[in-house]
């Protein structure tokens, strides 16, 4: 099919093609350049270009509404344990419960279609629930405990890294709407974690510095546990609008060793999603834990998927963020929950 000239221009993403190239507008090309920022944790390059669009989202990017028969056909719901591979373990179980039967709060099963030698699914709740944002703190404690239990098993079997991730929404790559996380056992640090490791050593940690000097305007919430504080903030150099960062303020490498702090971090991430949803509508997102067994500073990164990554991001490695972090934080803070 041939596209009309304007449609062709839109398909290319070049609005300028619509303008006739005269000498006048050729010379009026804007010469101000946005500053390229470097993310202190990863070294990733980010440009804030807020003039490109008023709102970061387009309606198609929002989460798909629930299908009418979604819960009826959901293999993760309590009572359909036979529809998943046999469970590895479950938490919050009733006394005398047999494996792969009802009576659990969190259930860990092998991934039916693993891409890795070991890849597991943590089913976050027995009742059909579509988002991390809708889980109780008690449930998040059990989820954190299940990640820690899996990590212990991975270390015991000689694996070096456990990559814990949550995808929510089709646009974020989720295959099932029932809230769950995935755990990938690796025999090395994945490249993104390996790239951060030298920047996050105790001696000169970029995340300690970031949190110490954090602009109060970017901070959304915190939770205190004993001497430790976990903070939720808008990422100052996020690659995406509303990108969030959750981390303990003090330098701690291993989240799995401090399950309570990890649960607090998940609760803060859930609050971040609730605020995001209040501002933009039900938003797809990716969330992951960057963990370090040796030296490093663990943290969660939450990347909303309201925008599409294009060639400058994927081919150039330069991320164009259309929403200034201060503006994102203002909107999220003022969201009525």
User: Which residues would be at the binding site for Zn ion (CB under 5 A)?
Assistant: 74, 76-77, 128, 178, 205, 207-208, 251, 290, 297
Identify which of residues 236 and 279 has a Cβ nearer to Zn ion in the complex: 236
Cβ(80)–Cβ(126) under 8 Å?
A: no
Closest Cα to residue 209, out of 36, 37, 40? Answer: 40
Q: Residue 145 Cβ, how far from Zn ion at the closest point, in Å?
A: 21
259-280 vs 325-334: helix axis angle to the nearest 10? 90
- Give exposure, 74-102, as e/b (b: 16+ Cβ within 10 Å): bebbbeebeebeebbbbbbbeeeeeebee
Identify which of residues 107 and 251 has a Cβ nearer to Zn ion in the complex: 251
Q: How far is CA 64 from CA 252, 265, 272, 282, in A?
A: 37, 26, 20, 8
Identify which of residues 77 and 172 has a Cβ nearer to Zn ion in the complex: 77
Identify which of residues 41 and 61 has a Cβ nearer to Zn ion in the complex: 41
Q: 238 CB contacts (<8 Å, ≥6 apart)? A: 46, 244, 245, 303, 321, 325, 328
Identify which of residues 200 and 279 has a Cβ nearer to Zn ion in the complex: 200
Cβ(283)–Cβ(277) under 8 Å?
A: yes
Q: Residue 157 Cβ, how far from Zn ion at the closest point, in Å?
A: 25
Report residue 168 as tokens.
Answer: 């929510």
Identify which of residues 105 and 153 has a Cβ nearer to Zn ion in the complex: 105
Q: Residue 290 Cβ, how far from Zn ion at the closest point, in Å?
A: 4
Q: How far is CA 209 from the centre of its chain?
A: 22
Identify which of residues 295 and 326 has a Cβ nearer to Zn ion in the complex: 295
Q: Residue 5 Cβ, how far from Zn ion at the closest point, in Å?
A: 43
Identify which of residues 205 and 328 has a Cβ nearer to Zn ion in the complex: 205
Report residue 99 as tokens.
Answer: 């494996």
Q: What is the DSSP letter of 109?
A: E
Q: Cβ atoms within 10 A of the Cβ of 283, count?
A: 25
Closest Cα to residue 147, out of 124, 131, 178? Answer: 124
The strand pair at 161-168 and 244-248 is best described as: unpaired
Q: Residue 3 Cβ, how far from Zn ion at the closest point, in Å?
A: 40
Q: Residue 126 Cβ, how far from Zn ion at the closest point, in Å?
A: 9
Q: Residue 46 Cβ, how far from Zn ion at the closest point, in Å?
A: 14
Q: Cβ atoms within 10 A of the Cβ of 73, count?
A: 10
Question: In this structure, what is the dihedral angle of CA atoms 71, 74, 79, 80, given to the nearest 10 degrees?
Answer: 160
Q: What is the DSSP letter of 78?
A: T
Q: Residue 280 Cβ, how far from Zn ion at the closest point, in Å?
A: 23
């Amino acid at each position: 099919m041939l596209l009309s000239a304007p449609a062709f221009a839109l398909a290319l993403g070049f609005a300028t093609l619509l303008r006739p190239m005269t000498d006048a507008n050729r010379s009026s090309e804007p010469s101000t350049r946005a500053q390229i920022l470097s993310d202190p944790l990863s070294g990733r390059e980010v440009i804030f270009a807020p003039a490109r669009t008023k709102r970061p989202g387009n309606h198609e990017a929002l989460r798909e509404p629930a299908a009418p028969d979604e819960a009826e056909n959901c293999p993760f719901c309590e009572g359909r344990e036979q529809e998943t591979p046999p469970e590895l373990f479950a938490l919050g179980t009733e006394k005398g419960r047999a494996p792969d039967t009802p009576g659990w709060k969190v259930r860990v099963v092998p991934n039916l279609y693993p891409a890795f030698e070991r890849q597991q699914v943590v089913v976050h709740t027995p009742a059909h629930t579509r988002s991390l944002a809708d889980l109780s703190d008690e449930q998040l404690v059990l989820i954190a405990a299940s990640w820690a239990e899996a990590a212990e098993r991975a270390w015991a079997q000689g694996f070096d890294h456990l990559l814990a991730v949550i995808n929510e929404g089709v646009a974020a790559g989720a295959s099932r709407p029932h809230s769950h996380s995935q755990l990938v056992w690796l025999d090395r640090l994945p490249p993104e974690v390996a790239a951060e490791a030298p920047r996050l050593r105790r001696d000169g940690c970029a995340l300690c510095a970031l949190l110490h000097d954090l602009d109060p305007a970017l901070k959304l919430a915190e939770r205190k546990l004993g001497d430790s504080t976990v903070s939720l903030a808008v990422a100052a150099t996020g690659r995406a609008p509303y990108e969030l960062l959750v981390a303990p303020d003090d330098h701690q490498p291993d989240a799995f060793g401090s399950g309570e702090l990890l649960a607090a971090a998940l609760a803060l991430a859930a609050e971040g999603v609730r605020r995001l949803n209040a501002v933009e509508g039900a938003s797809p997102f990716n969330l992951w834990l960057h963990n370090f067994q040796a030296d490093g500073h663990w943290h969660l990164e939450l990347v909303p998927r309201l925008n599409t990554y294009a060639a400058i991001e994927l081919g150039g490695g330069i991320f164009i963020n259309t929403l200034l972090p201060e503006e994102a934080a203002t909107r999220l803070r003022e969201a009525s929950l």
